[in-house]
Structure 1
Amino acid sequence: MGSMPTPRPVVLVSALALSLLGPCASALIVPMSGWVPVNGNANVWTDTSGACLLREERSEQAFPVLASQEEALAFAAKLRVQLSKSMGPVISQPVDRAGFWAVLAAYDYKKEDATYKVSQLYINDAGTLRTVTGSSADGEKGACVNAMREFIRYLAD
């Protein structure tokens, strides 16, 4: 019997963000060596092995500046409740972005027989919602996984 192929990562946007997507104004800059745009789309990036995927999406929906940790904590709690309805358990937390706050969510996404680990940053972009989402197959141990998560947690803005 042949072995099953390793599932490629799927980047999903939460049900909340999916309904909010609008046209992209500029492209995500991914500072990780070897990462390339997928099919020339500078809003979707993958590492050289194809084990990790990053996607940036912009919405036309108003999204407030989270000016304090308290505001970010309140939004994180609401986001956790909303995402948990469709994604199962969700972890969300505020992240500091030099003068304002964003919210980071992490959850598992199941599709057919595969499970993906998803990290998603919710951020204000000139008054509208922008998300940066990273995913990899559950159990993926490649170097891209930690690099991608650190980029989303500390650098994406």
Structure 2
Amino acid sequence: MRADFCLPRPPLAVLALAALLAAPAQALVVPLGGWTPVNGNANVWTDSAGACLLREERYGQAFPALGSQEEAQAFALRLQASLGKSGVREIVTQPVERAGTWAVLAAYTHEEGGVAYRISQLFLSDAGLLRTVTGSSALHEASACVNDMRDFIRYLAN
């Protein structure tokens, strides 16, 4: 199964929630062997087999830095409720620390064109604006890229 599908954008309710909640971030660097930008776009990356896709998006939406684990947990719970209303399923959210500030990691299943995809999405503050790093693969994809991609989002993306 190729990952040349369109990754879902955060639902409008999620973006509105982010407005209610700053450390500058660098451009996305994908330190995974064999991954390349899609069509020369350094914001969208795929593995050599095309089974996994990573996308970085920056929004003009205000998203102040989450200064504590408690703030991140509160946002994670609101995000989980908002995602639940958007039609995705199997939603898990959690705070993750990034160099002294906090981000929120969401994982969920999204269906598009009759195919289920497992999404991992990191919500970060970039100079007070929302930035996401999103990874996607088919729900039951067993390629090595899946765990590498999820580990990158969970532990390294910033």
**How high is the TM-score relative to the length of structure 2?**
0.87
| Mapped partners of 2:4, 2:62: distance in 1 | 29
CA shift in 2, pair 1:155/1:9, >3 Å: same
Q: CA deviation at 1:98?
A: 1.9
Which aligned runs of 4 or more in structure 1 are off by greater than 2 angstroms?
Answer: 6-10, 16-20
Which of 9, 12, 34 is the equivalent residue of 1:13?
Answer: 9
Aligned to 1:68: 68
Q: Which stretches in structure 1 are left out of the alignment for 5+ residues?
A: 1-5
CA shift in 2, pair 1:58/1:39, >3 Å: same
| Mapped partners of 1:17, 1:42: distance in 2 | 27
Aligned pairs, number? 148
* SS, match of residue 54 in structure 1: strand
Is residue 38 from structure 1 mapped to residue 38 from structure 2 by the alignment?
A: yes
Is residue 95 from structure 1 mapped to residue 90 from structure 2 by the alignment?
A: no
CA shift in 2, pair 1:74/1:9, >3 Å: farther
Q: CA deviation at 1:19?
A: 6.4
Alpha-carbon contact 1:107-1:117 (below 8 Å) kept: yes
Alpha-carbon contact 2:14-2:82 (below 8 Å) kept: no
Is residue 52 from structure 1 mapped to residue 52 from structure 2 by the alignment?
A: yes
Q: CA deviation at 1:77?
A: 0.5
Which protein has the larger Cα radius of gyration, Structure 1 or Structure 2? Answer: 1
| Mapped partners of 1:151, 1:7: distance in 2 | 20
Q: 1:63-82 CA deviation, whole Å, 9 max, x = no partner?
A: 01111000000000010011
Aligned to 2:21: none
Q: Which stretches in structure 2 are left out of the alignment for 5+ residues?
A: 17-24
Q: Which amino acid aligns with 1:103?
A: V
Q: CA deviation at 1:8?
A: 2.9
| Mapped partners of 2:156, 2:90: distance in 1 | 25
